[in-house]
Every structure is written in C-alpha cells, then in structure tokens.
Amino acid sequence: MNNPFVRIVEPLDPKQPLKKFFNLSKLEDVRYPRLPFSIRVLLEAAIRNCDEFLVKMGDVENILNWKEVQHRNIEVPFKPARVILQDFTGVPAVVDFAAMRDAVKKLGGDPEKINPICPADLVIDHSIQVDFNRRSDSLQKNQDLEFERNKERFEFLKWGSQAFKNMRIIPPGSGIIHQVNLEYLARVVMDQDGYYYPDSVVGTDSHTTMIDGLGVLGWGVGGIEAEAVMLGQPISMVLPEVVGYKLLGNPQPLVTSTDIVLTITKHLRQFGVVGKFVEFFGPGVAQLSIADRATIANMCPEYGATAAYFPVDDISIGYLIQTGRDKEKVMCTKRYLEAVGMLRDFKNSSQDPDFTQVVELDLHTVVPCCSGPKRPQDKVAVSDMKKDFETCLGAKQGFKGFQIAPDQHNSIVKFNFEGCDFELAHGSVVIAAITSCTNTSNPSVMLGAGLLAKKAVEAGLTVKPYIKTSLSPGSGVVTYYLRESGVMSYLSQLGFDVVGYGCMTCIGNSGPLPEPVVEAITQGDLVAVGVLSGNRNFEGRVHPNTRANYLASPPLVIAYAIAGTIRINFEKEPLGINASGKKIFLKDIWPTRNEIQAVERQFVIPGMFKEVYQKIETVNKSWNALDAPSDKLYTWNPKSTYIKSPPFFDGLTLALQTPKTIEDAYVLLSFGDSVTTDHISPAGNIARNSPAARYLTSRGLTPREFNSYGSRRGNDAVMARGTFANIRLMNKFIDKQGPQTVHFPSGEILDVFDAAERYKQAGHPLIVLAGKEYGAGSSRDWAAKGPFLLGVKAVLAESYERIHRSNLVGMGVIPLQYLPGEDAGTLGLTGRERYTIIIPEKLKPQMKVQIKLDTGKIFNAIMRFDTDVELTYFHNGGILNYMIRKMAS
C-alpha cells in the first residue's frame, strides 16, 4: 500500500516485530490537526482499507482541514474491524446467507464465496422470556423453556457457525450482546496482519453504540447492510457532522447514570442530531466511569445520533484491566494511542477538537428522573411524576395522553390473587423489571439497587405479590458481584430473582401477567404501568396490557415496585408503612454514593470477569448437545415454521432491470410522527386474532407454541403477516388504534396484511405516507423487508431515522422526503389519492423527483439515496441482490 499515512514504528510490544500503523495526528505537513477523535477513527478505517479513498479525498491538507471537508458531502467507504449480531437479527442474516448461497449456485457461481470476510460474533440474547419469576428456580425454568421453543432456531445457528468461517456464536445464557462486547469482545486497539489500528464495529442492533463509551467507534446498522459488510462490502456514508457535547461539573449525590442519559436524550432529541456523530468532551467526562459513559452511549439511538463517542483515556485503560483483559496487551494499547495522539485527557482543553456545533450540560443540574409514558425522550423529574401522569390520563390520545374521561380518573377495580384481595387503579405498577444492557452493565446502579433492597427489607417493606418483578442481568458477572456483596438475597426477598441472562422485558419478552391482573385491567380499561431500567418504552413494546411504561434507574424500579403505583410523590408520601406502623420514605433507604463506591471497589474485581468469560463459549450444556447438519448448503425443511427460504432472490438474473416509474399507487397506511420500527415490525407477542396467528394455526400450532415475532424472523410468511401488526398502530385512515387499514377499492376495513394481499392480487403498487422520524427505534431489517413483501414500493415521509432509511435502501424500497417546509398537510394530501412517482433514467444522489396524483396535483420530493453506492444498490434491486451478482459474476 503506497499511503502517506503509514508509519513504521519501534515495537510497542518488545515481544513482537515491527508493526505499521496509521497516524493522522503527527504528520509533518498537517496544518489542521484538530479533527474530532471519532472522525480520526473513521478516516483511518477508510484509508487503511481503500487506496482509492485517498484520491477521492484529495491532498493531505484537505483531508485534515475539518472545517472545509465536513461540508463537501464526501463519501466515506467505512470498513469496520468487526461485526456483532444478536439472534433476532442474526437468524434472518444466516437465512439470507443460506439463500444467497443457493442463488449464487443457480447463477453458476461458487456458493462458498458467500462467506463472512469480516469477523462476526453472534450473541444469543433475544430469545429468553420472563415466563417464570419470583421463585428460586426461575432462571433454570426460563432457560429450559427457551430451548424448548427455540431448538430449531438454535440448531440452524449452530449449522451457520459450522458452514461459515469467521462467525462465532456466543450461546444462550451468556448475557446481552452489548454488555458482552463491552466486558469481553472489544479490543480498543487491533493487532492484526502487521498493523496496529483502532477497533471499530457495526452491529445488527441499534444499541451497538454502547461500545462508544469505551472508545471503540461503533453503531447499529440494518441486518441487510451488516450482511454486506460481513461479505467485505464497505459501508458507504457521507462524512458526518460532529456535535461536541461538553460535560461540566459533578453529578449530585442522588443522581445516577440513568438520570444523566435520560436528560441527555431529551436534550439532544430536541437539539436534533439525526445522521450526526456526537463526541463527548470537557472536564465532566473525567467524573464518569466507563459504565456511566457506556450507559450514555447506549441510548444514542434514542436521541437519534449515529454514534456517541467517548475517546479513550486513562479511565478506559483502567477499565480494560478491571475487566480482566491481558495487562501486557492493555499497556501496548496505551502506548499505541499515545504514539498517535489519541489518548485523551478530558481536563486538558488544548486537546479539544473542532466540532461542527457545541452544546453543553452541567452535570450538577441533572435531577433524578424517569422517561415516559410512551417515548424515551419524554423525561419527567421524579418529583413531577405523579402530577405528570395524572395530566397524561386526561390529555388527548398521543405521546403524552390517554384520553381517559375525567370521571374515570380515580376508578378502582378489585380482584383476588392467590387468595388475597387487592385493588388496581390507573397508574398501578404491574411490571417492575431490572433489565437491559443500558443499566445492568453498570455496577454502581446495580449495587445501588441491591443496597436499596437491603435497606427496604430491613425496614420491613415488601412488594405486592401480583406485581411481575424480575432481574435479568447483562452478564454473569453481575450476579457474581451481587451475590458476593451480600445483596442478592434481599433482591430476591422483594421478588427480584434472576430470571435469565438476556434482553427479556426491555424488548417485550416480558412474558404473561397473572390472569386476574389482566382481567382487572381490561374490566376497568385501566392505564396500568410498567417500570423498567431499559432503553425503550414505545407503545405496545413492553407488554400489551401496560399502556404506560417508564424508563428508570434500577433503584427507582424497586422503589416504584414497593410503592405499587406511579402516582406517588416520594418527597411527601411514604413508600409504605411497616409492621410497626412507621412510615418509610424513599430518602430513608436510598444508599449514598460513598456506600455504593465502597462496595464496588471491594467486590467488582478482575477475577470475576476472567472466571465468567473464560468458559462463555462452552458452559451451556444444552447448546453443546445440539446436533446440527454439516452441509455447506442448507437443506430447507418445508414443514418448518421458523426457518424458510426467503423469496427475495426468486427469479434473480445477472442482468440488471431498469428502475421503472411507480404508477397509480395506492396508500397502504398514513401515519403521523415518530412511527417506530416496533410499530412497523413488532418483536413481541403474536396476537391470537392476527394474520400471523391464523397462519400458524393453519400449520397446526397452538397459541402456546406461537412464540414471538422476533423468534419467527427466519420465516418470511410469518413476518410479512406481522408487518404493521402492532396493536398500538395509529393509522390516520382509522379512528382508533389497531393494525388495520382501509382497502380503498372496496372501502372495507381490513388487517394490514389482508389489505396488502388484495392490492397485490389486483396488481396495484403501494406506498406509505409518514411524518417526522419515520423508522425510529431499532435496526431490525424486517421493518424494511416486511413492507417490501407487502408490495410497498416507496415511503414518503418528512424525515427518517438513519438506520431505517438505510434498510429501505437495502431492500430497494424508495425513501422519499418532502421538500423543506412541506408535508402532507401543507400539500393537502389525504392519502386517498393515487400516486405516480416519476423515476428518471439518470439518477443522482438526493435528486428531486416528480409525483403526480390522480387529482391532477403535482409536487416534488427528494429521493433519499444519499450516495452513488446507494444508487447502485437501487439499480440492483437492493444490496443483497448486488452482492449475489458480484459473487456470481
């Protein structure tokens, strides 16, 4: 490689030979070296992997002249060092690979060319559900049921790990993908093939950004895009703007990292960072542990940024040692970062880069808070929770409203549970879950929860038995230090037994509520509440019967579980009254920061991490016993309802088809703002009256065997029927929530899938209309694959979340965007018109196209293919079609 950035250096590790590395900060001819650290990593990966990129960027001075370059729409070919997947997105990825091998073979190519080049780790964490809780054997029973339900999926993944090179499977029961990445998989600096270079990663889960907290640049991509990356295709992206987020001051004693991230989420969602990098700097960063930083980086998708980067500093190096990484390699990592000027000192302002924009937060202004009841960005101070919820009760149906009649606000429903009488009301807590990598990766909040539980039990407080409590840590290390520190037994006494190592309640795998509780909620039309230490609370996500869901720190999850209601002012009202008649307030049992830190220093030690992770790939006996076929081509079972060869490549030829104008399309659905990927392709419960349920019933399955939509992502027949199947879907064509739409030719109201089938049979193309932030939420590729299979040719929205737009591009669905200042309202669109979208022969990135309506109205929209590479994918009918042709030719 003839590259002006390559330098040969003295050995950073005396035991190793001379290594090469790239140095963007110490070249003699650099006149403008104050690049954001995140951009240095991005450019380094592009330069290291693509000589042509140097030509596109121009000379060295222009590459590093950040203030000039960032406005030039430069296309960056980013090749990450690694890819990570979880099983909900990993199964469809392996299904696609298996089908692509079949397609390449049919086209006369070598099917084994379909094989990961970029190393990939797949962590199975999305399958386990909270079927059992509040019992000492909950963990084992849930894991047994997980294998019973998902044996076929797991056998398929095990086949994939043997049929494809460079793909490692981390078995079920090991933990949550992002926590495992943080504590075990991440390297920070790679030492490979004669080079040192920064670690970087993309993952098929939007919260891949959590690793940014350790100084590893990473973000979530759609499964379709990740598959291409695994096959050696770089991610094509426009060089992003970088917002500098300056942290000042120290957090108050009662504030947790959860409170900080919920505050940042609201701040940045209002500020607007979609499609941008956020890089944290300032003296306040030095006050945050790596676990705190990881919590903040984890919720990057909730505030809309591409990445939320914390450069590596001495605290990062200390974390690598604390988590049991090899000390010699860690010291080599430090020396490399020092050599290239990428070891950050957050207290030294002379190291501060130049950013596109800068925003600030004084950590001392952060107060204890929650977010909800329907969106992560809707932060509410804990002191205002009672008043805010009561306001939401009567407010118009929306993100902050339930439209409950005023005379029903104090409704009470009595019910009997296990022989005792109880009452439920609006605001009653029925789910309290300490869950999600967002918080369970952070020893300070987990030990804080444990110490609070200890004080609560000692004060005589309890949790009502009908409340579904659970603890699902992100790794076995958490259980280890909770047990060793002596707080695990107190958590169990309050009902917070370990129920599994996986995402569980955070992704909607919350399991069933007790039937008497469901009947009471239904009878009173109650707004029941879930409180969870997760990162998302979109409508219909956590549980069908909890219409209000609040994100909170683990200690607050326990506090609200004890209170039994969200309608409490902790400052003025007691959590409960003990057997002696004494009122116990939250302040009486809240642990101090000094208490927590003392326990953390004593019990969170390197030996725990080493012991847990050295056996992570072999400890699961059920996984080890699975028998998987060894063939390189997968033998599809036509009777399977989990694994099915997808129709995406049917009829694919080597010749390209010219994109055609979309003529007289009907609108399948018309949405407002913030339609999430949970609305488009739910992951949780399969409703018994849904098209997917009818299909599974026709295949001989009972409702108990339905499992979840997420577990069925290897079967397109189920997933197409599950598209737009969220029970909280708000379609403007229908005057109530539900997964239905109007079939305009007949005027009938039908399930969305049934309406789409009617249109398809009649040969009518479809489009979707939407408002702002269309596709907010996760990276799930089925939110693009599903609409594609329904016959949706384009989406017309005011704005898109980054990953979902990329997924639409990857499936050949056109993302159209209204011109600035225009929307459906200003244009007078009802959605009942028919739309012709003119596709010209010559296309260029972000060009305007003409849209004609059957009413005679004509307007323009922006075609959101942002790069030439994305246009190439579109001409191929999608990114996977492009890769098949590339491999077969």
For the stretch 445-473, pLDDT in tens is 999 999 999 999 999 999 999 999 999 99
The whole-number pLDDT of residue 74 equals 75
pLDDT digits (tens, 9 = 90+) for 575-608: 999 889 999 999 999 998 889 999 999 999 999 9
Mean pLDDT of all residues belonging to the chain: 92
Q: Which of 60-64, 103-107, 210-214, 417-421 is the least confident region?
A: 60-64
Local confidence band at 403 (pLDDT 50, 70, 90 cut-offs): very high
At residue 619, the pLDDT reads: 85
pLDDT grade, residue 286 (50/70/90)? very high
Q: Take residue 197 and report the two structure tokens written for it.
A: 């270079």
pLDDT for the residue 65:
57
Whether the Cβ atoms of residue 664 and residue 836 lie closer than 8 Å to each other: yes
For residue 6, pLDDT over 80 is answered with no
**What are the phi and psi torsion angles at 742 (to 5°)?**
-95, 130
In this prediction, residue 26 carries a pLDDT of 44
| Cα separations in angstroms, 177 against 326, 488, 539, 776 | 21, 23, 24, 21
What pLDDT, on a 0 to 100 scale, did the predictor assign at position 545?
95
What's the average model confidence in pLDDT over 216-224?
Answer: 93
Give the pLDDT confidence score for residue 150 in this predicted structure: 93
Rounded CA-CA distance 840/759 in Å is: 25
Q: Is a pLDDT exceeding 80 seen at residue 18? A: no
How would you classify the pairing of strands 167-170 and 120-123? parallel
Cis peptide before 554 (omega within 30 of 0): no
For the segment 414-434, what is each residue's pLDDT rounded down to a tens digit?
999 999 999 999 999 999 999
If you average pLDDT over residues 223-252, what whole number do you get? 91
What burial class does residue 802 get, using C-beta atoms within 10 Å of its C-beta: 0-12 exposed, 13-18 middle, 19+ buried?
buried
Could you tell me which residues come within 8 angstroms of residue 566 by beta carbon, excluding any fewer than 6 positions away?
385, 386, 389, 427, 429, 529, 531, 548, 550, 560
Fold adopted by 371-591? Aconitase; domain 3 (3.30.499)
Class of the domain covering 662-681+723-888: alpha beta
- The CA–CA distances, whole Å, from 314 to 247, 307, 329, 347 equal 17, 21, 15, 12
pLDDT per position as a tens digit, 348-364: 999 999 899 999 999 99
Comparing 170-179, 194-203, 714-723, 794-803, the range with the smallest average pLDDT is 194-203
Q: How confident is the model at residue 77 (pLDDT cuts 50, 70, 90)?
A: confident
Say whether pLDDT at 373 is over 70.
yes
Q: Region 79-95: what's the mean pLDDT?
A: 94
Q: Does pLDDT of 29 surpass 60?
A: no
Q: Is 24's pLDDT higher than 60?
A: no
Instruction: Kindly report, residue by residue over 148-169, the tens digit of the pLDDT.
Output: 999 999 999 999 999 999 999 9
Q: Residue 72 carries which side chain, given as an amino acid letter? A: R
pLDDT tens for 742-790 read 999 999 999 999 999 999 999 999 999 999 999 987 778 999 999 999 9
Mean pLDDT of 397-418: 96
User: Which is nearest to 738 in space by CA: 800, 794, 687, 791?
Assistant: 687
Same CATH topology for 82-365 and 371-591? yes
Q: Identify the burial level of 1 via C-beta atoms within 10 angstroms of its C-beta, where 0-12 means exposed, 13-18 middle and 19 or more buried.
A: exposed
pLDDT given for residue 685 in this prediction:
85
Cα–Cα distance for residue pair 166/122, rounded to 1 Å: 11
- Residue 17: per-residue pLDDT: 54
In the prediction, which pLDDT does 53 show?
A: 55
Look at residue 579 in the predicted model and tell me its pLDDT: 87
Does 66 or 471 have the greater pLDDT score?
471
Rounded percentage of the chain residues whose pLDDT exceeds 70: 93
The residue extents of the domains of the chain are: 82-365, 371-591, 662-681+723-888
Q: Give mean pLDDT, residues 255-263.
A: 96
Q: What is the dihedral of CA 102, 107, 113, 117, to 10 degrees?
A: -90
- 5 pLDDT exceeds 60? no
Tell me, what's the pLDDT at 63?
52
Helix (H, G, I), strand (E, B) or coil at 645: coil
Residue 700's pLDDT is what? 96
* C-alpha span between 744 and 651 (Å, rounded): 31
What's the 3-state SS for 477-501? HHHHHHHHCCCHHHHHHCCCCECCC
Q: Taking 90 as the threshold, does the pLDDT of residue 735 lie above it?
A: no
CATH class of 82-365: alpha beta
Three-state SS for 482-549 is HHHCCCHHHHHHCCCCECCCCCHHHHCCCCCCCHHHHHHHHHHCCCCEEEECCCCCCCCCCCCCCCEE
Q: What is the torsional sign of CA 8, 10, 12, 17?
A: positive
